[in-house]
Structure 1
């Protein structure tokens, strides 16, 4: 069966994490993604090293064809332009001004191919400065919200790709009506807004946001042998949650009898819940919470354990890829499912310049390297 984007050609000039994740998603949706690298390769090829290959590069570049073009030369730029002439989408994550210097700017390429969807990812917008995920976490207030700590995952770099994909798909859909492509731009700063949209609202009431939120029922707690997470912030779940935990009597305590009171005394409630959960093993609490139909989770005992999660395997989120260098790889597959046109898990990431002759027709500016 054909995947949803069968027949769509994407030229991928992205590097590192955010942009490559977006183009890998397009490849999983069926697009023919041609990753264009300089002779020295995407620098993520040099991050992590197992037998000369980078696993983090593999994680975000599966299912693509790889070519090497030196866009600092006229020959390389001419080859890129030939690729663009037959493409539907071009995606880049260069710093502001770099794409124009390399012959990949929006005005030049959409002038050549009016049907082209030209998508770019920057840090602070097309006129802004350079930046990284940590810089955006810091400036957006995410570090402050996380108690002064940087998030353990690059939050902006993993949200921005899906903003890019949604913009590209919307532009391709609009092209069906108008026959014309257009320029799509987003940034890590806009990913910040997407990450915290539910918090980014101010008005003049003076009331704190979530002034009725009961954090005691929306956090992790230690148990006798591990930890569990309660996810019962919805007020309609409070009484049921306390009852399931054997704390139903607290609903008669004036401190916890109604929602405003529970909100005011949330820290006191958390102490009592913590003491109760610590008295029994996780399995007991997971059974009780499940029986009560309450949202909850078991805290994994090691970081990034999703590949071992039974539900992830059941829905096809974990895939296996045969890589010519690293052998069998387990990785995440497409994070959505279609009834008629299933996405593709994607083959291995390309070796540097692996498909240059196949795609470009000749070896243009190819170089050695990892």
Structure 2
């Protein structure tokens, strides 16, 4: 996969990740050139098993390109032995089980790093490996609730809502990738591995910076939800405005943006209006600002608005649906999205990686495979087992 020129070429990752958090971290590693060996239980990891529900197998395909697929029953004695043999030869072991699961199996970081002192053992979890929440069940939805994401999402007169995407899972996965790569850099300097762990709760906290600014600026008074307005109520205009055929998002973060917007709207007559003369004034009169802009946007199409506002250098974007995003020409030209004929799912548009190195295009996509598709090759070539030994593992229910 053009790996020779990629930064993680030569790094072997043993991937025990499941659902979104761990698999996204290891997808970034695979796209960076690492060899990623994905280990699944005999029935497949949870995301693969969701394939029984229509379309639910697509996220598995999105997050597991460019990996090798093997099965292993790590609850069996022989399975644990084989995992240890792989870890002894690997650079990274990554998992996002609940804290304590791997320790109870005798496969925790202390054991694994004694086997391989250069190992980076990476663990993702909801709340981390210490603290009073350590053993609480954690899913993206529950972390969104506990972290404050839900309380700051939605409109003030309606119940809190979750963010549409699985933000906590993916924030956790991104930070887990960063922790692994940081540990690998330090290993180059010291020769020693690391145990690194990332909490989804902690990974998402800084994304609350705007509502936290409102909270601390209000002497601890809880801010209300702001809908599509700035969550710190520190910008105006900042909203999603109705167009004749949908919606357009618009924001002005400087006085130049504001005066350019008035020019685009052909409303320079408002330049002398004291309700609009400064950012502070516009925030104080935010309803008037939004009503004025909506009166203009609602009579024009998204395309008309986007073209005109861009010409005036006003930050804006049409609110697009998923079909528009999946077929976005910019994302396809840059190689972030690729049309792939998936061997199990047919034609799909799959992501590569948002990381770019030296301007090189991302690698070609090697689609995810059937459960245990690489068992023979990995156990033979990586661990040196012969065909008879591999067949015996199958008979014993180890793979």
2:309 is the counterpart of 1:281: no
Determine the C-alpha separation between the residues in 2 that align with 1:141 and 1:167: 24
For residue 355 of structure 1, the aligned residue among 343, 352, 374 is 374
Q: How does 1:220-369 map to 2 (within 5 A)?
A: 220-300=240-320, 302-303=321-322, 305-339=324-358, 342-361=361-380, 362=390, 364=393
Residues 39 and 365 in structure 1, CA contact (< 8 A), matched pair in contact too: no
Determine the C-alpha separation between the residues in 1 that align with 2:395 and 2:297: 61
Deviates more, 1:201-210 or 1:38-47: 201-210
Find the counterpart in structure 2 of residue 162 from structure 1: 174
Return the TM-score normalized by structure 2. Answer: 0.85
Find the counterpart in structure 2 of residue 133 from structure 1: 140
Q: Say if 1:189 and 1:327 are closer, same or farther in 2 by CA, change over 3 A.
A: same
2:224 is the counterpart of 1:214: no
For residue 66 of structure 2, the aligned residue among 63, 68, 77 is 63
Find the counterpart in structure 1 of residue 50 from structure 2: 47
- 3-state secondary structure, aligned to 1:103: coil
Q: Say if 1:43 and 1:60 are closer, same or farther in 2 by CA, change over 3 A.
A: same
Structure 2 unmatched runs, 5+ = 155-159, 224-230, 381-389
Q: Say if 1:77 and 1:115 are closer, same or farther in 2 by CA, change over 3 A.
A: same
Return the TM-score normalized by structure 1. Answer: 0.91
Q: Give the CA RMSD over aligned residues.
A: 2.5
Q: Give 1:48 shift.
A: 3.3
Determine the C-alpha separation between the residues in 1 that align with 2:26 and 2:351: 15
- How big is each residue's C-alpha offset from its partner over 1:191-247, in whole Å with a ceiling of 9 and x where there is no partner? 2214324544565773989877233x2211111222211132334422222222222
Deviates more, 1:322-331 or 1:339-348: 339-348
Q: Give 1:167 shift.
A: 0.9
Find the counterpart in structure 2 of residue 5 from structure 1: 8
Determine the C-alpha separation between the residues in 1 that align with 2:220 and 2:76: 59
Structure 1 unmatched runs, 5+ = none
Q: Give 1:345 shift.
A: 3.9
- 3-state secondary structure, aligned to 2:276: coil
Residues 211 and 232 in structure 2, CA contact (< 8 A), matched pair in contact too: no
Query: How many residues were matched structurally?
Result: 366
**More relative contact order in 1 or in 2 (CA 8 Å, sep 6+)?**
1
Residues 10 and 90 in structure 1, CA contact (< 8 A), matched pair in contact too: yes
Deviates more, 1:308-317 or 1:226-235: 226-235
Residues 193 and 200 in structure 1, CA contact (< 8 A), matched pair in contact too: no
Residues 62 and 348 in structure 1, CA contact (< 8 A), matched pair in contact too: yes
Determine the C-alpha separation between the residues in 1 that align with 2:282 and 2:337: 41
2:154 is the counterpart of 1:149: no
Residues 257 and 313 in structure 2, CA contact (< 8 A), matched pair in contact too: no
